[in-house]
Amino acid sequence: MLSPVLLECLRTWWKTARAQGKMLPGGWLFPGQNPIDPMSSRQLNRAIHAAAEVADIDKRVSMHTLRHSFATHLLEQKTDIRLIQVLLGHKKLNTTALYAQVATDLLREVISPLETLPPV
């Protein structure tokens, strides 16, 4: 999924980076220290840790944290877990269901079907 908001941010970055000479024509959207090369996983990891520090996040973070957060937020927005499964590329629903353990607020909102029965 590419959000229209993110797409606009990426377009702005592309224009700015090209104007500043940080990006070669036909080069990488996120170039490495040498603009011929892509950003390394180590550079990306440093950027994630810097962003977490700015956001005052004390927990351990990684690239996988972003993926996990994405899935958890979708689940909290009541997105069908089967759609999340497809978006994450999971073959088994059990793998995706692990995210349900994190979305405890959503689990608390579930109402038993017995609660919807008329009073006796």
Nearest to 85 by CA among 95, 100, 77, 72: 95
Averaged pLDDT, 2-25: 90
Say what the pLDDT of residue 103 is: 63
- Share of residues in the chain with pLDDT > 90 (%): 38
Contact criterion met (CB below 8 Å) for 71 and 99: yes
Total Cβ atoms within 10 A of residue 103? 19
Contact criterion met (CB below 8 Å) for 34 and 23: no
pLDDT digits (tens, 9 = 90+) for 51-110: 999 999 999 999 888 888 888 888 888 888 889 999 999 999 888 888 766 666 666 777
| Predicted TM-score of the model (pTM) | 0.68
Contact criterion met (CB below 8 Å) for 82 and 93: yes
Cα 24 to chain centroid distance, Å, stands at 27
Between 13 and 106, residue with greater pLDDT: 13
SS (H, E, C) 6-49: HHHHHHHHHHHHHHCCCCCCCCCCCECCCCCCECCHHHHHHHHH
Nearest to 44 by CA among 66, 26, 59: 66
CA–CA distance, 88 with 99 (Å, rounded to integer): 11
